[in-house]
Structure 1
Amino acid sequence: MADRDQVQALWDAAAGAFGRIDHWINNAGVSTARRPLTELPPGQLETVVAANLLGVLHGSAVAVRGMAAQSGGGTVWNMAGLGSDGRTVPGLIAYGATKRGTDYLTTGLAEESKDGPVKVAHLSPGMVLTDLLVQDYSPEELAKAKKVFNILADRVETVTPWLAAKVLAGTRNGGTVAWLTTPKIMRRFLAAPFRKRDLFGDAA
């Protein structure tokens, strides 16, 4: 994703196979180890910025240009994540900084594209139970984190079909499709004492 030529090759292959591309989702992402910035090796920082920000810049540029050249345009979706809303979490500030940058990029590109056939929008899956979410915790830290995850997180197979349907339904230029909204967060915390969830066991 950090190589413009490879991103362009992906577009060309997909457009060649399907005839057109109506939706392009910039979803590739990685994180650093859960450590203070001063303890992270430069290579980890460069990898995160390359994948999470430079990759989205390249992907967005290729997709907007390609969609503008096809009849009916299309929609470019950029994936939100921890830090998109400005919230900070110690130990993950490099990841959060790239997501904050992606939010700015998406809003700015929507403004640049407002008079054309291409829409640019935010796609927010919320807290999804993946390796990226649970990596690099000590056993004690993970035990504490699981209490929050079991309230706010969801499994991939729960969130993905909903997001796919919303993507296909579309949104306005500059809009946001979000699974975990503020009202949903509030309802889940209020219901937590009465609704036990175990995302790490057999039952959700």
Structure 2
Amino acid sequence: MTVVVVTGGTRGIGQGLVRSFLALGAQVAYCGRSAPVDGPSEALFVTADVTRRGDVRSLWDATVDKYGKVDIWVNNAGLSNSRKPLWQLDPAEIDAVVDVNLRGTLQAGAVVLDAMLAQGHGALWNMEGLGSNGQIVAGLTPYGSTKRGLTYATLAMAKELTGTPVKVGLLSPGMVVTDLLTRDYEPAELEKAKKIFNILADRVETVTPWLARRVLAGTRNGGRVAWLTRRKAAYRFATAAFTRRDLFGDS
């Protein structure tokens, strides 16, 4: 049975991935800085801060103690910053975003890849986001910078893993309706933004089962699995006038 670890698995996309991997028959461990209120009981939860190598190693060890191995590790833990110009952001907020999104991915990656090489197999997946493809959005400078750097880091890891039994890949969920997507909008601005969200975005429960299936299927070293491709985005814009989508309604 495949064993999967998801960091930042207590909410949003991370929690969706945890539940999706479980539904597909995997054994799952996940972490967060605090325990979730209603996390799935059949998964192993470990309190961990991904910016601390000791915590990451504890998560690895706890998973191996329970399930015997780690086949797949998904670096999902991430933070976004308040939607403000860089000079208006609190220094501590900038540090937190960089710490979790980039430094945390590098520190966790170092621990996990070393352990996977020692066990003789494994696949590490790093989560892309806005900025990974070079898209620039005003007000999200720290977040976008970390995601751009994360893509470089992942491809560099892939080069370092060439010729080994361990692979690294990029996981791109696209635009997903979570609190990170809609935070800090004024009501009037949010209504305008929803027009684009209803074209390009999707709900967690739509995206994460697809991502989980693709992760379990695997990819080449340095490969990318992307939900919202340019072709899909173009099709949605082209058909938007004939397709009614309301991601913020009850259904």
Shorter chain as denominator, the TM-score bin is over 0.9
**Which residue is equivalent to 2:94?**
45
Following superposition, the deviation at residue 202 of structure 1 comes to: 2.5
Task: Provide, for residues 16-57 of structure 1, a one-character-per-residue CA deviation record: whole Å limited to 9, x for no partner.
Answer: 111111110000011110000010010000000111001100
The answer to whether residue 195 in structure 2 is matched with residue 147 in structure 1 is: yes
**Which residue is equivalent to 1:9?**
58
Following superposition, the deviation at residue 70 of structure 1 comes to: 1.1
**Which residue is equivalent to 1:163?**
211
Structure 1 runs (4+) deviating above 3 angstroms are: none
Q: In structure 2, how many angstroms separate the alpha carbons of the residues matched to 1:18 and 1:131?
A: 33
**Which residue is equivalent to 2:78?**
29
Q: In structure 1, how many angstroms separate the alpha carbons of the residues matched to 2:213 and 2:73?
A: 14
Which of residues 216, 228, 238 is equivalent to 1:180? 228
**Which residue is equivalent to 2:142?**
94
Q: In structure 1, how many angstroms separate the alpha carbons of the residues matched to 2:65 and 2:104?
A: 22
Q: In structure 1, how many angstroms separate the alpha carbons of the residues matched to 2:164 and 2:92?
A: 38
Q: In structure 2, how many angstroms separate the alpha carbons of the residues matched to 1:197 and 1:97?
A: 31
Following superposition, the deviation at residue 58 of structure 1 comes to: 1.1
> One-letter code of the match for 2:62?
A
TM-score, normalised to structure 1, is: 0.97
> Secondary structure of 1:69's partner?
helix
> Secondary structure of 2:168's partner?
strand
Task: Provide, for residues 53-82 of structure 1, a one-character-per-residue CA deviation record: whole Å limited to 9, x for no partner.
Answer: 0110011111111111113x1110000000
Following superposition, the deviation at residue 93 of structure 1 comes to: 0.9
**Which residue is equivalent to 2:249?**
201
Q: What are structure 1's unaligned runs of at least 5 residues? A: none
73-82 or 59-68, which deviates more: 59-68
**Which residue is equivalent to 2:126?**
78
> Secondary structure of 1:77's partner?
strand
> One-letter code of the match for 2:190?
L
Q: In structure 1, how many angstroms separate the alpha carbons of the residues matched to 2:93 and 2:117?
A: 35
Following superposition, the deviation at residue 4 of structure 1 comes to: 1.0
> Secondary structure of 1:120's partner?
strand
Q: In structure 1, how many angstroms separate the alpha carbons of the residues matched to 2:171 and 2:196?
A: 22
Task: Provide, for residues 142-189 of structure 1, a one-character-per-residue CA deviation record: whole Å limited to 9, x for no partner.
Answer: 001000000000000000100000000000000000000010000000
9-18 or 32-41, which deviates more: 9-18
**Which residue is equivalent to 2:3?**
none
Q: In structure 1, how many angstroms separate the alpha carbons of the residues matched to 2:96 and 2:227?
A: 28
Q: In structure 2, how many angstroms separate the alpha carbons of the residues matched to 1:190 and 1:164?
A: 28
- Equivalent pairs counted in the alignment come to 202
Q: What are structure 2's unaligned runs of at least 5 residues? A: 1-49
> Secondary structure of 1:115's partner?
coil
> Secondary structure of 1:57's partner?
helix
